[in-house]
Copies of this chain bind each other. A is one copy, B any other.
Amino acid sequence: MADAKPKWLERNVSGVLLDISGVLYNSGKEGGEVIPGSVEALERLKAAGFKVRLCTNETQCTREDLVKKLGRFGYKLSVSEMFAPAPAMRAVLQKRDLRPHFLIHAGGRPDFEGLNCDNPNCVVIGDAAESFTYESMNTAFRVLLENHTLFSMGYGKYYRTDGQLVLDVGPFAKALEYACDTKAEIVGKPSALFFTTALEDMGVAVQDAIMIGDDIQNDVGGAQAAGIRGVQVRTGKFRPEDEKHPTVKPDGFVDNLAQAVGLIVKYGK
Contact = CB atoms under 8 A, between A and B. Distances in A.
Interface of A: 128-135, 137-138, 141-142, 145, 157-158, 164-167, 170-172, 174-181, 246
A166 B171 CA distance: 18
Q: Which of A128, A129, A141, A246 has the most CB of B within 10 A?
A: A141
24 contacts: A129-B134, A130-B134, A130-B135, A132-B137, A133-B134, A137-B171, A138-B166, A138-B167, A141-B165, A141-B166, A141-B171, A145-B165, A157-B178, A157-B180, A158-B179, A167-B179, A170-B179, A171-B175, A171-B176, A171-B179, A174-B174, A174-B175, A174-B178, A175-B175
B179 A164 contact: no
Contacts of A135: 130
A158 B141 contact: yes
Interface centre among A128, A175, A176 (most CB of B within 10 A): A175
A177 B177 CA distance: 13
Q: How many copies does the complex hold?
A: 2
A179 B166 CA distance: 10
A175 B170 CA distance: 8
Given A130-B135, A134-B167, 15 more contacts: A128-B134, A132-B133, A138-B165, A141-B158, A141-B165, A141-B166, A157-B180, A167-B179, A171-B174, A171-B176, A171-B178, A171-B179, A174-B175, A174-B178, A175-B175
A243 to B, nearest CB: 15
Nearest to A168: B179
Contact of A134 (B132, B141, B158, B179): B132
A74 to B, nearest CB: 31
A147 to B, nearest CB: 13
Contact of A170 (B138, B157, B178): B178
A154 to B, nearest CB: 13
Name, among A132, A166, A171, the residue most crowded by chain B CB atoms within 10 Å (CB to CB).
A171
